[in-house]
Chain A
Amino acid sequence: MNAPVKPKLRIATTSLAGCFGCHMSFLDIDERLLTLLDLIEFDRSPLTDIKHCGSCDIGIIEGGICNAENVHVLREFRKNCKTLIAIGACAVTGGLPAQRNHLDLGSCLTEVYLTEPGLAHGHIPNDPELPLPLDKVHPLHEVVKIDYFIPGCPPSGDAIWKFLTDLIAGKTPELGHGLIKYD
């Protein structure tokens, strides 16, 4: 009798207020991606272009929360993913976008679109399709429960590989010296 085929783990990924650098770093696992694909399949992700997250085992989110749409996507992931991972400095700490947090949002927009040279006839974008920016940028754990964090800007391919293979093997992921980085 054949052994039952172990179902593949379903993984969704997205980038919120991030730069896709963590996704690029994920691709830095190179040919190990093929090994990974024996164990997992992708749901919503920039790699599949699926637009909404279905029921998943693992959700991986890059980037912090800077606008209303980010909050909706994050909640969709939390609702559908058994395990949610914040990846990269922005998802974990707010990162670069959060460097505006000590400034007033209104003055930021005014300076960028109205008063700075180069946009003499500019106006603050107000198309209804645009998600409204939040007053402050937040790391993911301030909005929903996050199960694991992979710090780094970005975390290296090796760190992501170690973390995911530990998790898939059912172990508590550990990074250790050389793989854990905040920069």
Chain B
Amino acid sequence: MTDIFQLDGANIPFEPGQTVMQAALTAGHYIPHLCYHPEFKPHGSCKVCTVKVNGRTAASCTMPAEAGLNVESNIEEMNGLRRTLVQMLFAEGNHFCPSCEKSGNCMLQALGYDLEVHTAGFRHLYPDRPLDASHKDILLDFNRCILCELCVRASAEVDGKDVFALSGRGITKHLIVNAESGLLKDTNIALTDKAMQVCPVGVILPKRVGFSIPIGKRRYDQRPVSAQALDDAPRQADASGSCDVCEGTP
């Protein structure tokens, strides 16, 4: 007999060791998320996937599934908190969508659309975050970083290169490049690396291919992120470590 928990009134079967998020996605139920990626160990940092478990809030990507849990996700209380989290991310960085080549393929933007975020609401911080254009093939635009650590995890766990890391604490936390110069050109990153494919926003970009997909044909122009995340679950890398559906990056 398979164990079952309740998600918004639906029965969700799960295997031992699965998290609430994994079981929900496998069963075809979407829980909004940003830093979660099916191919990587959950990070639990963005908190967008927060649900109510037996009345208490928990990150569904790290919460182990247990028989009999009562999980509430698609309720106004949770969606309101998710909206606020997304608003804070927009206010904290420089997310100027009209000039971003990831626009239309960006998970943060798509999540904003899905949650009907019309404004960041908060006072914009407008931080000063210079670009790193030192690498001949790859551009880093730190303005858009949401500190999800997917590139850190991909570079360490899949590529075995440790190109990226987070440094600092609290509001000063930021993405850094693991080289003495701090510049991407002095690392061994390659266009074929997993770290190139996982950025949910527009930080890590291959040069000379921007805006190649016309408006209207980009990933999230077609269908909202809530519909597409289910197609991806469970997303698996192929033998060469690449994942076609990873946020539309070629």
Contact = CB atoms under 8 A, between A and B. Distances in A.
B19 to A, nearest CB: 28
A149 to B, nearest CB: 4
B129 to A, nearest CB: 8
B214 interface: no
B98 A89 contact: yes
Interface in B102-134: 103-104, 109, 112-114, 116, 118-121, 123-124, 126-129
Contacts of B112: 180, 182
Given A149-B119, A150-B118, A182-B109, A94 B126 contact: yes
A94 to B, nearest CB: 6
A141 interface: yes
Given A180-B113, A183-B104, A102 B127 contact: yes
Nearest to A181: B113
Nearest to B224: A177
A148 interface: yes
Contacts of B126: 94, 98, 101-102, 136
Given A94-B124, A98-B126, A139-B124, A180 B116 contact: yes
Q: Which of B114, B120, B215, B223 has the most CB of A within 10 A?
A: B120
Nearest to A101: B126
Contacts of A86: 119
Interface of B: 90, 94-100, 103-104, 109, 112-114, 116, 118-121, 123-124, 126-129, 215, 221, 223-224
Given A94-B126, A98-B124, A142-B123, A183 B116 contact: no
B97 A175 contact: no
12 contacts: A86-B119, A93-B120, A99-B99, A139-B119, A141-B119, A150-B118, A175-B118, A176-B116, A177-B113, A180-B116, A182-B112, A183-B97
Contact of B128 (A102, A151, A175, A178): A102
A182 B119 contact: no
A99 B96 contact: yes
Contacts of B128: 102
B96 A95 contact: yes
A151 B109 contact: no
Interface in A95-154: 95-96, 98-99, 101-102, 136, 138-139, 141-142, 146, 148-151, 153
Nearest to B226: A177
Contacts of B223: 177
A174 interface: yes
B123 A96 contact: no
A98 B98 CA distance: 13
* Among all A-B residue pairs, the 8 with the closest Cβ atoms: A182-B97, A153-B98, A102-B128, A149-B118, A101-B126, A149-B119, A183-B103, A183-B97
A22 B101 CA distance: 21
B124 A89 contact: no
Contacts of B90: 93
Contacts of B215: 183
A38 to B, nearest CB: 27
Given A101-B126, A102-B127, A102-B128, A183 B120 contact: no
